Amino acid sequence: MMESDPHTEQYENGLSSVTGRKLNATSGVVGGSLHHKYRQKRLSINKDTLKLNSIQQDVLKEYQLAVTKHPKWPTDPFHALAILSEEHGELAQAVIDTTYAPSSPHAGLDNARREAQQLAAMCLRFVEHLDNYKFERGEQT
């Protein structure tokens, strides 16, 4: 069974407040005087914008949780990159399990989405601290 996208309900419910019109599954909007194609394009843009806003909010919530739990961040870019690699590995595992081991506790779209949000949050932290990194060669033997 496919899990639903949690953002779908938010942006579909939000469309009527953004457009000021009631949604209709076949025409997109009821009660408007706009040309059908223009109306569909406008709805598509509004729908995409609302979904993106919802995703951004979820990533920023994850960012705040991470900063609260781990307020310090490495000044060495390789250690910071290792954090991104670890999060990437967790996302990869969630995708693999969802695809090939659906009964695994790490399987499912919800888990993959959560891991993707965590990776995105760590990417934000990486960029946020870019000016603070000490790009120095390590000792080599």
Name the residue range of residue 35's domain: 1-55
Q: Is 117 inside a domain boundary?
A: yes
**pLDDT tens digit string along 2-19?**
455 555 555 445 544 444
What pLDDT does 5 receive? 57
As a whole number of angstroms, the distance between CA 113 and CA 38 comes to 32
Predicted confidence (pLDDT) per residue in 71-93, tens digit: 999 999 999 999 999 999 999 99
Residue 66 falls inside a structural domain? no
Domain total of the chain: 2
Q: How far apart are CA 118 and CA 62, in angstroms?
A: 6
pLDDT at 45 over 90: no
Highest mean pLDDT among 32-41, 94-103, 132-141: 94-103
**Is 86 within a domain?**
yes
State pTM to two decimals.
0.67
Residues 16, 51, single domain; the answer is yes
Angle at 17 between CA 14 and CA 21, to 5 degrees: 115
Q: List pLDDT tens digits, range 93-121.
A: 999 999 999 999 999 999 999 999 999 99
Question: Which among 84, 74, 85 is positioned nearest to 136, based on CA atoms?
Answer: 74
Report how far residue 6's alpha carbon sits from residue 76's, in angstroms, rounded to the nearest whole number.
37
In a shared domain, residues 132 and 81? yes
User: Is 65 contained in some domain?
Assistant: no
Structure tokens at 87: 């999060």
Q: Are the beta carbons of 119 and 92 closer than 8 angstroms?
A: no
Answer yes or no: do 106 and 132 share one domain: yes
Q: Does 121 lie in the same domain as 93?
A: yes
pLDDT higher at 87 or 39: 87
Residue 78 resides in a domain: yes
Judge whether 81 lies within some domain: yes
Confidence of residue 41 (pLDDT cuts 50, 70, 90): low
What tokens does 129 get? 């601290």
Whose CA is closest to 114, among 75, 69, 61, 53? Answer: 61
Give yes or no: residues 140 and 78 share one domain: yes
Does residue 78 sit in the same domain as residue 125?
Answer: yes
How many C-beta atoms surround the C-beta of residue 25 within 10 A? 5
Does 141 lie in the same domain as 77?
yes
